[in-house]
Amino acid sequence: MLSENLKTIRKQKGLSQQEFAIKLNVVRQTVSKWENGLSVPDSDMLISISEILETPVSILLGDNIEEVKENDLKVIAEKLEVINLQLAQRMIRKQKLIKGLLIALCAIIIVIFLALILLNSSYLNWNYSDPETAVLGVGFHAFEWAFVRIAPLVFIGAIVGQIFIRKKS
């Protein structure tokens, strides 16, 4: 257990037996004996080993640690590639949705402008002595007044938004 964990963790930290031995102030053969299970370090040395490997003593003495294999790294890389692909597809869908909404907004603005032109501000000829007609006329006039001033800015913003989305694609 200790021998296998010591060897696995040392390799994960990228240390050779010689480098590890130098850090512990022992000879390389001592590290080799520990890793082959021919001897065990004393408690003080075990604490030094845990400090150098930045690993708790309980893990050094605990169950076997599985070594990270190259195949595991390939699997992780493949999963990351799939995740990146999914994120890219989500971004493309989001851009298409925003572009569709901006086009729909432009179309709605054009339709409302055409309706206002065709109505030719007929509410101006209404009889405002009738309260219902007066309220309706004032409401319609307020909508038209606000729409004619705000809609061109929204329309231009929607077109600029479409241009920016096209450049990102």
Same domain assignment for residues 104 and 150: yes
71 inside domain? no
Per-residue pLDDT of the chain (169 residues; tens, 9 = 90+): 788 888 888 998 899 999 999 999 999 999 999 888 888 888 888 888 988 988 888 888 875 555 555 667 787 888 888 888 888 899 889 989 998 999 999 999 999 888 877 877 665 666 667 777 778 778 888 888 888 889 999 999 999 988 888 776 5
Number of domains in the chain: 2
Domain interval for residue 38: 2-61
11, 44, 61: which is the final residue of a domain?
61
The chain-wide mean pLDDT, for the chain, equals: 84
The DSSP letter of residue 92 is H
Which pLDDT score is estimated for 67? 55
Same domain assignment for residues 100 and 159: yes
82 inside domain? no
What pLDDT digit, counting tens, does each position of 29-71 carry? 999 998 888 888 888 888 889 889 888 888 888 755 555 556 6
- Is 9 exposed, middle or buried, given 0-12, 13-18 or 19+ CB atoms closer than 10 A? buried
69 inside domain? no
